Structure 1
């Protein structure tokens, strides 16, 4: 997928080291196989680009992503795993596994599968007027990957309340409960661009390794995670970024870091 192009249901824009993927699947950006296929292909291409230091995933003012197309449910039944569940999980894992920081810019509702997509990103910026939630229990459904990622994000008690009640949270509640990192008075996309620009100025290898270590802290026993931290720290001292940062510090100038992957 080339820069500045639309491939089916997603749009790609690259501004220096920051990539933007815009969902373009209709007014509500419903989660369909076509959207998942296009998103997965775009994410695969971006993951291989060492120059990318941050990704912004966004929708539109009408909806970041309003979730799955309920009209598809009746036809799934016993084939749901092969026709939807496993494929959707695969794409969400691809988003979560991207080697650089990711931000979901939420200017419109992010509900159900749409909020699961936002939860697969590292950070979330929410517009004041937007709402988020996992309301599947209202229909007798379940946000499976959302339950796991939400619990890791906000803890079991709050995650259970959100899932059990199917509550939809406004910006104040979402921020207070830790579902989002920032609330934007205006455009969430613009606020996400400002945050991404700040992230892109920092050491790219440092940020990539920091992401792996935070994830390891949740996945591994503490000794194993600390051992990975030691190995990551050695990569920092072996690389060029730290030398450039130290030289810039003494020269009283901004550091100029190279490509994102320098290990």
Structure 2
């Protein structure tokens, strides 16, 4: 969280081949404001309909923070209408980010605090630059990271999640990796560079396979085992019906790289 930044805020979309990048754009701290959320949500709605994209990277653009959370100056104006004007809007955007059908990566080159870490937790994978701290410091202001509490617990378990939430302390990149909050720490170069390499690797794999894998993993925590396994059988049939699987098999026997079409 922080109390300075641009009055508006937006998000910017760029694409290279099968990979899209969303750059947050709201002053040096990339504060979460209504205008930033609205622009981000429009981008997410467009990406959700895209069958050609194989990976999406979310990053902090040219700002010094990935995202430092909510703009504290907005709190007084939404006090008695927080659900309608802030809480439910943020929840919608976070859900839409988490529900993108293709793999997503958060590239964290600067602090990800409060709502910023909540954004990153909605991505499938997180790459953190060495030496950058992350955390949920809302309790310092008497606040609460609502969605962050739920998503963080699923990653690190209740004890570590409670420690971060109760103290509001940030954790180091080394601790974040050890606890499983992030998937990788970029010690050489930026997290964005590392995320782009990872996205390139993902984009070379079967796009139908990756989308179905994401769906199965996301469902796994909510479904009984038998129901999850039934969903897996349905997904497997879709794979065997696809052209991509048979292209992959032909490429294996032909000792060449497969050319997946997403069909």
TM bin, normalised by shorter chain, reads: over 0.9
Contact 1:108 1:129 in 2 (8 A): no
Alignment size in residue pairs: 254
In 1: Cα distance, 2:63 partner to 2:178 partner: 23
2:65 to 63, 66, 78: 63
Contact 2:10 2:36 in 1 (8 A): yes
Q: Secondary structure at the match of 1:202?
A: coil
Alignment of 1:213-224 (within 5 A): 213-224=216-227
In 2: Cα distance, 1:24 partner to 1:129 partner: 22
Scaled by the length of structure 2, the TM-score of the pair is 0.95
Scaled by the length of structure 1, the TM-score of the pair is 0.95
1:241 to 241, 244, 263: 244
In 2: Cα distance, 1:77 partner to 1:93 partner: 23
Deviation of the 1:78 alpha carbon: 2.0
Alignment of 1:43-58 (within 5 A): 43-58=44-59
**Match for residue 88 of structure 1?**
90
Contact 2:25 2:63 in 1 (8 A): no
**Match for residue 260 of structure 2?**
257
**Match for residue 106 of structure 1?**
108
Deviation of the 1:84 alpha carbon: 0.1
Deviation of the 1:129 alpha carbon: 2.6
The structure-2 alpha-carbon separation of the partners of 1:61 and 1:131, relative to structure 1 and needing over 3 Å to count, comes to farther
**Match for residue 131 of structure 1?**
133
Q: Secondary structure at the match of 2:221?
A: helix
Contact 1:32 1:69 in 2 (8 A): yes
**Match for residue 191 of structure 1?**
194
Deviation of the 1:75 alpha carbon: 1.7
Q: Secondary structure at the match of 2:23?
A: strand
Runs of 4 or more consecutive aligned structure 1 residues displaced over 2 Å after TM superposition: none
Alignment of 1:3-82 (within 5 A): 9-59=10-60, 60=62, 62-82=64-84
Deviations 1:109-163 (A, max 9, x none): 0000000000000000000131111010111000000000000111111111111
Deviations 1:56-99 (A, max 9, x none): 00004510000000111122222000010000000000000000
- For structure 1, the 5+ residue unaligned runs are 1-7
**Match for residue 3 of structure 1?**
none
In 1: Cα distance, 2:71 partner to 2:118 partner: 14
In 1: Cα distance, 2:169 partner to 2:191 partner: 22
> Are residues 1:206 and 2:209 paired?
yes
In 1: Cα distance, 2:106 partner to 2:95 partner: 15
Contact 1:61 1:107 in 2 (8 A): no
**Match for residue 161 of structure 1?**
163
Contact 1:107 1:129 in 2 (8 A): no
Q: Secondary structure at the match of 1:219?
A: coil
